[in-house]
A = this chain, B = another copy of it.
Amino acid sequence: MGTTLADVAAHAGVSVQTVSNALNNPGLLKRSTLDRVLAAVDDLDYSPNLQARRLRQQTVATIGLRIDPLTENVAASLLDRFLHELTARADAQGRHVLLFTAVDDEEEVRKIRELASQRVADRFLLTSTHLGDARVTSLLDEGLPFAAFGRPWGAAREHNWVDVDGAAGTRAATDALLDAGHRRIGFLGWPAGSGSGDDRRRGWAEAMAERLGVGGDALDALTARCQDRVADALVAAGPLLERGVTALVCASDSLATGGIGAASQLGIRLPVIGFDNTSLAAGLGFPSVDQSLGEVATAALAAIDAQPGAVTTIVRPHLVRRDDARWGIAPAADRGPSPS
């Protein structure tokens, strides 16, 4: 049984690479070539080393990603949009994206282990990172290659991640409104204490402090908070609007939609800027901060191949301006401040 790949190649009259392709990527070969190689394998009774083949086959170049059951949460569609960008960019590298589901983080880790050992996927991407995320530690301990979309909120062992600079996004939105002459710019956000929620408020707060000298209690008076639901935002935005804000920066498109609805009920037209640039923003035609998901996908593909901790990328989001005067929410820069 001393037969080698080179013996088979010589017998078949092809290169060693061609024999390797025949065993691992038969689809790359012409039918006649494949048949010739397989005949040589039979003639020489060649037995490819199982372990070696397993190792070679680990280059299946498939990226496993968990997706959760549908919710009516509008923000959930952000991951769907990311999926399009990731698939397109992975495809360009000859890689594929493989979807699976899990009921919780523990099951996700278990399935990643399974997919890796079955060689169905060889890289993994975590999303929806959160405080005290145990997935990172488990995957690092088991040496499973992964990257996270979402920074570690709180202490975590070194690993690769890519995230979007939420503060830079709301800063850009607030700057656009300030440039257009607005001064009483409200912020509609989530309850304090969530990593990304606090990050998004910070960009607005810093712009207001640096450019207008507004801080502390004055900022609190310009802030309203609620859960990420349109109906809740409809209620939460009311008092803010009654306090005479002339524009709103929001932590999400759901909140922005509620803000627009609340303004409409009060007969007020004012610019409202959302975050995530979901189909709500596109459909209703209001401006929104876009997470630059194409760049996130490119960075994630780089991070996924690097040594743990070698790649941490912060992507800069950008403001998508929309001027749909029919909804009364054109970007302030183009229309000037509305009467409050």
Interface readout for A44-71 with B: 1 if CB under 8 Å, 0 if not? Answer: 0111001100100000101000011110
Please pick, from B54, B72, B84, B254, the residue contacting A67 in the complex, using a CB distance under 8 A.
B84
Residues of B within 8 A of A50 (CB): 23, 38, 41
The CA of A37 and the CA of B231, in the complex, are separated in Å by 59
Say whether, besides A23-B50, A265-B326, A285 and B230 are in contact (CB < 8 Å): yes
Chain B minimum-CB-distance residue to A84: B70
Stretch of A75-83, A155-163, A175-183, A185-193 on the interface side: A75-83
Closest CB of chain B to A63's CB: distance in Å? 10
The CA of A106 and the CA of B60, in the complex, are separated in Å by 24
Closest CB of chain B to A46's CB: distance in Å? 8
Interface readout for A207-233 with B: 1 if CB under 8 Å, 0 if not? Answer: 000000000000000000000001100
Closest CB of chain B to A44's CB: distance in Å? 11
Would you call A16 an interface residue if the criterion is a C-beta within 8 Å of the partner chain's C-beta atoms?
no
Q: Let me know if B101 and A98 touch, CB within 8 A.
A: no
Interface readout for A247-267 with B: 1 if CB under 8 Å, 0 if not? Answer: 000000110010001001100
Would you call A17 an interface residue if the criterion is a C-beta within 8 Å of the partner chain's C-beta atoms?
no
Would you call A153 an interface residue if the criterion is a C-beta within 8 Å of the partner chain's C-beta atoms?
no
Q: Let me know if B68 and A84 touch, CB within 8 A.
A: yes
The CA of A248 and the CA of B114, in the complex, are separated in Å by 50
The CA of A253 and the CA of B253, in the complex, are separated in Å by 17
Chain B minimum-CB-distance residue to A293: B70
Say whether, besides A99-B87, A100-B91, A326-B261, A77 and B27 are in contact (CB < 8 Å): no
Please pick, from B68, B81, B264, the residue contacting A70 in the complex, using a CB distance under 8 A.
B81
Chain B minimum-CB-distance residue to A88: B101
Please pick, from B23, B60, B83, B283, the residue contacting A80 in the complex, using a CB distance under 8 A.
B83
Q: Let me know if B87 and A284 touch, CB within 8 A.
A: no
Residues of B within 8 A of A1 (CB): 45
Closest CB of chain B to A51's CB: distance in Å? 7
Closest CB of chain B to A13's CB: distance in Å? 19
Please pick, from B68, B69, B280, the residue contacting A280 in the complex, using a CB distance under 8 A.
B280
Q: Let me know if A234 and B326 touch, CB within 8 A.
A: yes
Residues of B within 8 A of A54 (CB): 26
The CA of A99 and the CA of B113, in the complex, are separated in Å by 20
Q: Let me know if B279 and A77 touch, CB within 8 A.
A: yes
Stretch of A116-124, A134-142, A144-152, A309-317 on the interface side: A116-124
Please pick, from B88, B101, B264, the residue contacting A87 in the complex, using a CB distance under 8 A.
B101
Interface residues of A (CB under 8 A from B): 1, 23, 25-28, 38, 41, 45-47, 50-51, 54, 60, 62, 67-70, 72, 74, 77, 80-81, 83-85, 87-88, 91, 96-101, 113-120, 230-231, 234, 253-254, 257, 261, 264-265, 278-280, 282-285, 324, 326-327
Sample (25) of A-B pairs whose CB atoms are under 8 Å apart: A25-B118, A26-B117, A27-B118, A28-B114, A28-B118, A38-B51, A60-B120, A62-B120, A72-B279, A74-B279, A74-B283, A77-B80, A87-B99, A87-B101, A88-B101, A91-B100, A96-B98, A96-B99, A96-B100, A96-B115, A98-B99, A230-B283, A231-B324, A257-B284, A278-B279
